[in-house]
Every structure is written in structure tokens, then in C-alpha cells.
Amino acid sequence: MKEEKPSGECEFSQNVRKRSIDKENIRDSKCGRWSLNGDVGTNPPLLEDMGLSILQDEETVGVPTPTPPEIEHDEDNPPQPSKILQPSSQNYSNSNSPIINNDDSINNEFYVYKRRRQDPICGDDKFNRMTDESILAIFRWLPKFMLARCAQVCRRWKRLAFDESLWRRLDLGGKSLKPGVLGRVILRGASILRLAKAEISSPIFSPQLHHLPSLPAVRSRLQYLDLSMAAIETHALEELLSVCFELKKLSLEHCTVNKTICSHISKNVKLETLNLPMVYGLNNASISLILTNCKKLQSLNIAWTSMTSEDLRIICRRFPSSMERLNLSGCRNTLTDGHIRLIADQAPGLVELDVSDGTQLTAASVTTIIKHMRSVEYLAFSRCYTIQPDAYMELKQMHSLLYLDIYGILNDSAISTLRQSLPKIQINKYLFSSVARPTVGIRRTSIWGLRSWQFKKNDDNITINDE
């Protein structure tokens, strides 16, 4: 009689045999590619217990999916169009591949959409349909620095942005101009140009502008030019004034001139106002050349120019009869009563006369003015200490006189008494003379009463390119 083995031993042997069989199946399997830490068998019960399913074999990858059989459609009942999913922000793809449209995607209603590029702006260009006059009317409201940027848009905008009607008035006061910038402004047809306290680099005309004719053939349209206290070299000033032939009003206050510069100034036969106070290098030969050729000169300011008595005598003999306003202040030891007599003979129609700081003048000068200058409206005898105060009482004979400046001579009580004696004359109203000066009072953005447009606020370095 055979002994029966315990049931525990039988179950243990069966489990060992089952595990060996599973290992053999794993070795023979071709789908054991997927694993976490080692190989996992393809026993379906075991995978189902783990919540997994069998993956497709690598050898079967790429095998075309069999196409479904064609379905015959009835002509009377055409098939309904397939459902198309609307694209959303999540369905877009960043790739540039074409739209995937295979059978699997159709059956599963899954689509891959290509991101569409934004179409360029199409339609009518409103500016191209506008006339040049309409565009210029819009450009007139733009600041000058914006016009320079508009010139870079296209050829038509460049031509319109550089139209001379937009550059007639320009204020570059206090700016720093690079070489060639001022020449470009002049070539654009500027007629009113303010350069007070500006730093102007030479050359005036850039050598890169090869299309320009020779310099003597260039003629600017400048009529009002303010270079008061401008930092400009002498040869650059010569180059600038060499192309100016239509100047009506010019200011070179605190600049340096020479005979060549004065010769260029004398070619402006229409010159009406010349402001030359504190100018260096001025003498009787240069100023006489200007007075001889400029017969229409009405206002002249040559104050504080350190002229000698002989220079003043020659100049006073050359004053044109059209002279109406004259400033000879600052001639402390050179201006005498004889010069005032010459002025009265040459320019009896003076309206304004400033001889302040003439320490050699006496009461005879006041008498000469009363007798020979019947049209004077403004007189300035400030700091003329040798004129006796009683001489000013005789000015009540001049019915045309409106203003009298005598700063630094009389005290307050004496001035009060003089005002009572001369009730029709306003005394000590103007601290500084306005003869031939481009700016007076608080109007610092205008020259000689004409408004000039500023290029750009808070921009100290100006560059204007034609390219």
C-alpha cells in the first residue's frame, strides 16, 4: 500500500513546475519588450491582474490597416456628410506638417490642424489714394524729428517729408549739430532759422553729398538767420554765409567775423536788420563795406565792439538814409558829441537811438538830437555821467519822444521830479535795448516776431539724414 504525500507537498511541486513553464514562455516570447525592472510575461491572466494589456509586436508596426469594404450608396439617398470637428486652441499644432487625414483619424474623429499664419494686411492703402497736398497738410502738424522718421517709410513719403514747405521755419537753438546737418537743413529750403546758442560742427555741407553742385552755385533761401552766441568756427561761418544771398535779418551776436565774412554779408542787398553786438574782429573797413552795399538797412546794432574814435567817424559818414534804429552803446571813451552830429546829418529819420555808456557825451548831444532828429521815439542815455540832469528837461520839446532810459544817473527822487516834468514820456521802462535783436522779452522761440518751430524738446544732439 502506497503512502500518500501530504497535500501541501503536492501543491508546492505544482507551483514550482508552473513557474518553470512560465519562465520558458517568457524566453520564447517575442513581445517581452515592455518592462519596468526586468521582463514581464505575456500571460494574459497575469497581465489582466496587473491592469495591463498586450502591446502590439514591433514586427507588426507599419503594416497597413486593412481598408473597410466599400459601401454602396443609394443615389436617391446620398450619404450624410461626415462630422467635422471645429478647431480649438488645444487642437492647434506648432508643426508645419500638412494636415493628417488617414482612415484611422476619420474613424476616430481625431484631427491635427496646421497653425495658420496671419495674412498680411491687404486692402486699400488710404495714403496712396490721397493727394500730395492732403498728406502735406497732415505732415504740417508733425514735429520735425517725426518728419525725419517718416522719410524712411518709402520714397513718396521721403519726397513729401522733405518738401520745402515743411522746413521753412526751424528752431535749433541750443542744439548740437553734427557735420553736414546744417547744410541739409539749408538745402531743404529753410527760410527762418534760429541757431542761438547752438554748437555747429564743420563742415556745413557734408562731403558725402556728391550730387550737389559746386558750392558757389548753391543758393540758400534763408531770409532770417539767428546765430546769437552760437559756437561756430570762422571758416564754418564763411561757408554758411557764402551761400546766403537773400538775407533780410541777420544776428551774429558774440561771434567772430573777418573781412571775408563781412564781404559775404554785403552781398545781401535786401538786408534790413543787422545785429552785431560784442562781435570780435569788426573794424571800420568791414562795416563800411556792408553799409555801402546794403542800402536798405534799417536797424543796426554794433554795441560793445571796441571801435576806435576814427572807426566810428568813418562809420557815421556811411549810414544810409534809410536807417531808423541804431545802437552805439558801449563806446565809453570813443563816442563824442561830434559823432552824434554826424549821425543827425546822415540819418535824420532815426526812430530809436541808444548811446548808453557814452561817458564822453555832454548836454550838446541832447541839444543836437532835439534840433535835428524830429522823429525819435526812443532814447537811451544810461550811465552817461557827463550829461547834466537839467539837459533832460529840454526833451519836453520833442513831441515824438515816448520812452527815455537813463539808468544809473539819477536817484529815485530826481526821477520822480523828471517824470512830473515829462508826463508824456515813460522813463526807465526798458532795461535793455531791443534794437536789431532777434528775441525780446519772454518770446524765446521766435525771431524778429516770427515764430520758429522747434526740432525736438530735450534732444541735444541732432542728426538729419537724407539716406
pLDDT digit string, tens, across residues 268-303: 999 999 999 999 999 889 999 999 999 999 999 999
pLDDT of residue 353: 96
Q: What are the structural domains of the chain? A: 127-165 (1.20.1280.50), 167-295+440-467 (3.80.10.10), 298-436 (3.80.10.10)
pLDDT band at residue 461 under the 50/70/90 scheme: very low
Cα distance between residue 271 and residue 189, in whole Å: 19
Q: Is the pLDDT of residue 118 over 50?
A: yes
How confident is the prediction for the chain on average, in pLDDT? 78
Can you tell me the mean pLDDT for 344-372?
A: 94
pLDDT at 216: 52
Signed CA dihedral, 26, 31, 35, 40: sign only = negative
Amino acid at 241: L
State pLDDT tens for residues 149-202: 888 888 888 888 888 888 888 888 889 999 988 988 888 888 999 999 999 998
Residue 124 pLDDT exceeds 80 = no
**What is residue 440's predicted lDDT score, i.e. its pLDDT?**
76
Mean pLDDT of 124-141: 81
Sheet with 176-177: strands ordered across: 199-200, 176-177, 461-462
pLDDT at position 152, please? 85
- CA triple 427-428-432, angle to 5 deg: 140
In this prediction, residues 202-209 reach a mean pLDDT of 78
Q: What angle do CA 331, 336, 338 make, to 5 degrees?
A: 135
DSSP SS3 for 307:
coil
Most confident of 53-62, 342-351, 443-452, 458-467: 342-351
Top mean pLDDT of 25-34, 38-47, 87-96, 336-345 is at 336-345
Model confidence pLDDT, tens digit, residues 300-337: 999 999 899 999 999 999 999 889 999 999 999 999 99
pLDDT for 71 beyond 60: no
- Enumerate residues 6+ apart whose C-beta is below 8 A from 309: 334, 335, 336, 339
pLDDT band (50, 70, 90) for residue 32: very low
> Distance between CA atoms of 112 and 388, rounded to whole angstroms?
106
